[in-house]
Amino acid sequence: MNYKYKYKLSNLDCPNCARKIETALNKCENITSASVNFAKLEINIETPLKSGVKKLVEKIVKNTDDDVKVLDLNSKEHSKIVFDVSRLAIGILLFIVSLFIPNHFMKEVLIILSYLILLFRVLKKTILMLIKSHSLDENLLVSISCIGAYLTHNIHEGLMVIILYEIGKILESIAVNNSRKSISELMDIKPDYANLIIDDEIKVVNPENVKIDDLILIKKGEKIPLDGIVVKGSSKIDNKALTGESRLVQVSENDVVLSGGINMDDLLTIKVTKTYENSTVANILSLVENATERKAKTENFVSKAAKIYTPIILGLAISLTLVLTLIFHMAFNDAIYRSLVFLVVSCPCAIAISVPLSYFSGIGASSKEGILIKGSDYLEASSKIKEIIFDKTGTLTDENSKSIKIEYIDLERDIDDINTYLVSGEVYSNHPIAKAIVSELKDAKKVKITNFKEEAGQGISYNIGKKKIKIGTRNHVGKEGFSEGTYMTIDNLVVAKINVYDGLKENAYEVINSLQKLGLNTMMFTGDKKDIALSTSEKLNIDECHYELLPQDKFDLLNNELDKYNGNVAFVGDGINDAPSLALAKVGISMGSIGSASAIEASDIVIMNDNLDSLIKLIKISKKTNKIIKQNLIFAIGIKVLVLLLSAFGLSTMWEAVFADTGVTLLTILNTTRILKK
């Protein structure tokens, strides 16, 4: 039998370090499985051990990264940024003071102290990695470069290497924390308790202990702990944490509410419809927690290359020293200096830091906009999309917003009279179809009606003078043999058919137009009839439309499109009947389905705010992230190659090498932080 444990991590600022810790934990024979959530700074452990688990985890983490601490979940995390900044400031101050001291001995003492303080973290990591894990990384290259620069009397260059390297690490930590903040804001939606109503008494319980059909009370200012239906009361709900939307949502009896929202007004009594493990908030938290686990191809390549890169560079530096002294008969001190320049230039910091940081920032920027991405591979894939295929109902159209087209059947009657009879009754109904009819016939004359009756889900009936009017389904108007639809009868004679269309979502036309301007082909797949589908397609100016499709038909057509565009196709749907297509597409995007577990399950990206504008934001964020990664790689590799070529001919010094490594690292980190800006 296995037991599950969860611990908090402190001082973990590097995605690569998180992967190293996870790998080390999974190698332990007493741990069945372990996962490190970098976004949430948590470790999840599954083990057969009943006790001593925390000490075991602490030992493994300490052996992997001595700076990272393992804490209990309720412990407070202490940031090491203040300590690092203070250490950096003291080291720089000691060096500046040494410049103005005439005494040679005191000058040397202050310089050595400055080196030790500034190199403290890097040297500590290097020694621990060599002793405990027998591995090498960029910390060793930085250590050798700085110590070598001091021993070859290039003191200023050596200090500049470590000063800029430490500034880069501090900036990386700040950038990661900003990205993590964007993601972790969503973690605040988890409810701490539920007010369970038992025999007119209120008992505060864990949301996980509440069952379906239980009644819970939501007070003003409290989070809604579970999905349910309002059975008593009316209030305004703040769903900002769920959807990113600032507008409050008005709810009353029979309205559905989702867990994670906040009650902003009066008391609400809710009948629970989902257990906590299947609730909206649990599904979203699960998705967010796993967002950083799926890695893009670029990120995976950098991670794998980093393991063998350092030993190769170290070997090349040693070989360079031997070649310069033995073959070219260069002075040993000069050969060492050239090799140190080579080591500094070759440090992979800019690449190793900027790539995972860029994807992490992209996921953070997206989550801020109410866009949840399951992994950096989907963020990368979104930047390469050539075609977007939309489901119609609930994706491009709004079921709560209707438009109508009246088909007049009794041509002997005056159309104005039919319109008058129609609108005079519908004005008394709150049904979406009734509102659409009233809106369409706003200029029609209205007359007095009597005996108004409304049957839920069927239609209305009323009298105008001695005439009996019925409007509604074929069963309601007594015409069972007719095709499905909404009919109007006067004295049992059918005079009109009201063809009902779902209204277009807000900004749907503008979004389709913007996608086309970005160079994407647009297509619509729907199960609706030809005339309805083509009407919607024409209104939106969609490039291509396919109608009367079953889920299998959509799947087959999508397969063809994937072949056509080399796999770079996104599918946008509601995540329920479109699940096969969402899973098949290169990028499956769920729109407006934050209450649907199947939407989160099947799709790669969830648009939580039901806003089509978010698709444009997603494409722009993904392209911006990809562009910045390319900029960083081209800039970093280009500068390094240039300085290496110059150093081969003795034309570059440690100063150029410092810029090629730590200077470039600083610039790539600063460039990466642009992703977080709107």
Which residues are catalytically annotated?
A: 391
Distance (Å) of CA 11 to CA 85, 119, 501, 673, 678: 14, 18, 56, 20, 28
| Rounded CA separation 516/432 (Å) | 32
Q: Contact, 556 vs 549, CB < 8 A?
A: no
| CA dihedral of 483, 489, 494, 498, whole degrees rounded to 10 | -50
Q: What is the enclosing helix (H) or strand (E) of 572?
A: strand 569-573
Burial 216-253 (b: 16+ CB within 10 A, else e): bbbeeebbbbbbbebeebebebbbbbbbbeeebbebee
- The residues, ordered by sequence, that sit 6+ positions from 673 with a Cβ below 8 Å of its Cβ are 175, 178, 361
Strand, coil or helix: what is 13? coil
Left (φ > 0), alpha (ψ -120 to 50) or beta: where does 314 sit? alpha
Q: What does residue 294 show for φ and ψ, rounded to 5 degrees?
A: -85, 120
Q: Name the β-bridge partners of 483.
A: none
User: Which of 47, 45, 40 lies closest to 10 in space, CA to CA?
Assistant: 40
Q: Contact, 356 vs 179, CB < 8 A?
A: no
Strand residues in 422-492 grouped as ranges (E): 450-455, 459-464, 467-472, 486-490
Strand ordering across the sheet containing 467-472: 397-408, 493-504, 486-490, 467-472, 459-464, 450-455
Q: Which amino acid is at 647?
A: S
Q: Name the β-bridge partners of 491.
A: none
What percent helix, strand, coil does the chain show, rounded to 5? 50, 20, 30
Burial 143-166 (b: 16+ CB within 10 A, else e): bbbbbbbbebebbebbbbbbbbbb
